[in-house]
C-alpha cells in the first residue's frame, strides 16, 4: 500500500469509527438474488433477501440493496429498503448460468463485477456506509471486499451453498472465495454442512445462521388437522434432485396399503410434464393435485391447509419451504440429506426418511397419518424460533454493533 493510499485509508477508518457511534446504521446488502417484483414464485432465495432486508430495516436502520438490473429496471423495494440497480451484460440471466468456458459469459461476469463495484462505491461516496452484508460470497463478497480495501468499510458474508460448493471448488476462484471469507468481520452459512465446508475453505470461524422468509398467516385457511384423509404438501421444483418421482411412487404405495390421504404439489421445472404423466400412469389423479409455481400468500395458504410438508429430495441443504412450514406450525417429513435429518432428529419436529426410497417414504407417510394430533406441535414451535427471520436480523445487528473496520 502506498503512503498516500495508507493516509487515505487511515482517514476513512477514523471516520468510520466515529460514524459507528451513531444510530441508526447505514447498511448495504449486496446480492445477485433479488425478486423481480413483489410477487415472484420462482425467486426463493431472492424472497429471503427481500424479507431479511425488511427485517433489518424494521429495527430502525437504513438499508440499501445493491443488485443487478435484470432487464426491467430496478426491483421491487419493500418498506424501509432502497434498492439500487446496476446494468451489466447478462440481462435477465442468473449468475449461476454463466460458464467460465464461454467467452461471452466471462465478459458478462466481468461487467457484473465492474458495474457492481462502481454502484457500491457510488452509494458509499454519497453517504458513507457503516457495514456491508454480502449475500453471497460470490459475487457479492467480491464487491464488498473491494469496498473494504478501498475505503475501510467492514463487511460480513452469508454463504448460501453454490458460492462454496461450486465457485469454491473452481481453481481460478477458490483462493478469491477464501480471501473474501477471511477478510470479512463475520461469516455465516445457512446450513450446518455448508458452515463446516466454508470453515475448512477459509480457515476461519463460520457461524450457522439459517435463511427463512417472513410468512404471514392468512385468516381464511384451515389450520386444524381433520380426521380421515391426511393432507400432504410438496412445494418446490419438479426436478429429479427434488425427488418428485419418489414422492409420487411413495404415494401410490401409501394408498395401496389401505391408507387415506391426498397430496398437493406446487412448483414447476424440468420434470413438470413427466410428473403429471407419472401421476396419471400410477392412477393417482384422484389423490394427487399437481399445480404450478405459487407466490408467498398461496404457499402459506397451502401449508395451513395441509397436515404435513413433504421434502423428498435426493440432495438438499435446508430449503426455505422447511422454515415456512415450521413458522406456520406444520411438521415436516424429509429425506436424510444435507442438514434436514439432523435438525428433525434433534428436535423431533417431523419424520426423517432415507433418500430415493419410495417404500421408506410411504411408511413415513403412514406413520404420520397414524400419529395422534398434536404429537409434533411443541417440537415444531421450538425449531421455528431458530428460523424466525426477525430473530436472525437481531442477531446480525448485535454482531456488527461493535466490530472494527476491516484490515
Same domain, 207 and 237: no
3-state DSSP assignment of residue 254: helix
In contact, 206 and 198? CB cutoff 8 Å: yes
CA separation for the pair 86, 120 (Å, rounded): 9
Q: Residue 145 falls within a domain, yes or no?
A: yes
Tell me if 224 is assigned to some domain.
Answer: no
Counted domains in the chain? 2
φ, ψ of residue 232 in degrees (nearest 5): -100, 150
Q: Is residue 184 within 8 Å of residue 141, measured between CB atoms?
A: yes
Query: Which three-class secondary structure state does DSSP give residue 285?
Result: coil
The rounded distance, in Å, linking the Cα atoms of 65 and 17 is 23
Q: Looking at the structure, do residues 247 and 284 belong to the same domain, yes or no?
A: yes
- For residues 136 and 160, give the distance between their C-alpha atoms in angstroms, rounded to a whole number: 6
Looking at the chain, the whole-number percentage of residues with pLDDT higher than 70 is 88
Judged by DSSP in three states, 230 sits in strand
Q: Would you state the pLDDT for residue 178?
A: 96
Tell me 76's DSSP state.
Answer: P
pLDDT category, 407, cuts 50, 70, 90? low
pLDDT class for 224, splitting at 50, 70, 90? low
93 and 149, same domain (yes or no): yes
The pTM for the full model equals: 0.81
Pair (182, 139) in one structural domain: yes
Do 374 and 396 lie in a common domain? no
Domain CATH for 320? 3.40.50.2000
Cell of 394: 437481531
- Give the model's pLDDT for residue 62: 96
Q: Is residue 219 part of a domain?
A: no
What is the chain's mean pLDDT, rounded? 88
Q: Are residues 361 and 251 in the same domain?
A: yes
Q: Domain range spanning residue 366?
A: 230-387
Q: Does residue 108 have a pLDDT over 50?
A: yes
Residue 221 lies in a domain: no
Q: Are residues 21 and 60 in the same domain?
A: yes
User: Does residue 187 belong to any structural domain of this protein?
Assistant: yes
Segment of 21-35, 69-83, 356-370 carrying the highest mean pLDDT: 356-370
Q: Which three cell numbers stand for residue 280?
A: 396419471
Do 178 and 307 belong together in one domain? no
pLDDT tens figures, 167-210: 888 888 899 999 999 999 999 999 888 999 999 999 999 999 99
Amino acid at each position: 500500500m502506498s503512503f498516500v493510499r495508507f493516509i487515505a485509508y487511515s482517514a476513512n477508518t477514523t471516520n468510520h469509527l466515529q460514524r459507528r457511534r451513531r444510530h441508526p446504521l447505514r447498511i448495504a446488502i449486496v446480492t445477485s438474488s433479488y425478486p423481480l417484483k413483489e410477487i415472484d414464485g420462482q425467486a426463493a432465495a431472492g424472497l429471503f433477501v427481500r424479507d431479511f432486508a425488511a427485517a433489518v430495516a424494521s429495527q430502525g436502520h437504513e438499508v440499501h440493496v445493491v443488485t443487478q438490473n435484470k432487464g426491467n429496471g430496478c426491483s421491487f423495494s419493500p418498506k424501509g429498503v432502497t434498492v439500487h440497480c446496476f446494468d451489466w451484460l447478462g440481462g435477465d440471466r442468473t449468475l449461476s448460468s454463466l460458464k467460465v468456458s464461454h467467452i461471452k459469459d466471462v465478459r458478462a461476469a466481468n461487467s457484473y463485477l465492474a458495474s457492481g463495484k462502481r454502484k457500491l462505491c457510488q452509494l458509499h461516496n454519497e453517504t458513507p456506509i457503516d457495514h456491508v452484508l454480502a449475500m453471497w460470497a460470490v459475487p457479492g463478497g467480491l464487491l464488498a471486499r473491494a469496498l473494504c480495501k478501498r475505503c475501510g468499510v467492514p463487511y460480513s458474508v452469508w454463504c448460501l451453498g453454490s458460492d462454496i460448493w461450486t465457485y469454491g471448488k473452481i481453481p481460478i476462484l477458490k483462493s478469491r472465495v477464501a480471501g473474501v471469507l477471511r477478510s470479512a468481520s463475520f461469516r455465516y452459512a445457512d446450513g450446518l454442512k455448508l458452515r463446516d465446508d466454508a470453515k475448512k475453505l477459509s480457515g476461519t470461524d463460520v457461524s450457522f445462521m439459517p435463511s427463512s422468509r417472513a410468512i404471514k398467516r392468512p385468516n381464511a385457511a384451515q389450520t386444524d388437522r381433520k380426521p380421515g384423509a391426511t393432507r400432504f404438501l410438496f412445494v418446490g421444483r419438479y426436478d429429479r434432485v427434488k425427488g418428485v418421482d419418489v414422492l409420487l411412487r411413495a404415494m401410490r404405495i401409501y394408498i395401496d396399503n389401505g391408507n387415506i390421504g391426498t397430496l398437493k404439489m406446487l412448483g414447476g421445472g424440468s420434470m413438470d410434464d413427466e410428473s403429471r404423466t407419472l401421476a396419471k400412469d400410477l392412477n393417482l389423479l384422484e389423490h394427487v393435485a399437481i399445480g404450478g409455481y405459487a407466490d408467498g400468500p398461496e404457499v402459506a395458504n397451502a401449508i395451513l391447509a395441509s397436515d404435513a410438508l413433504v421434502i423428498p429430495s435426493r440432495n438438499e441443504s435446508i430449503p426455505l419451504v422447511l422454515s415456512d412450514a415450521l413458522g406456520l406450525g406444520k411438521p415436516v417429513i424429509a429425506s436424510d440429506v444435507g442438514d434436514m435429518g439432523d435438525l428433525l432428529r434433534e428436535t423431533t419436529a417431523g419424520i426423517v426418511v432415507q433418500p430415493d426410497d419410495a417404500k421408506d417414504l410411504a411408511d413415513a407417510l403412514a406413520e404420520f397419518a397414524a400419529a395422534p394430533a398434536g404429537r409434533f406441535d411443541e417440537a415444531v414451535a421450538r425449531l421455528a424460533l431458530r428460523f424466525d427471520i426477525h430473530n436472525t436480523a437481531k442477531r446480525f445487528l448485535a454482531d456488527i454493533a461493535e466490530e472494527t473496520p476491516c484490515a
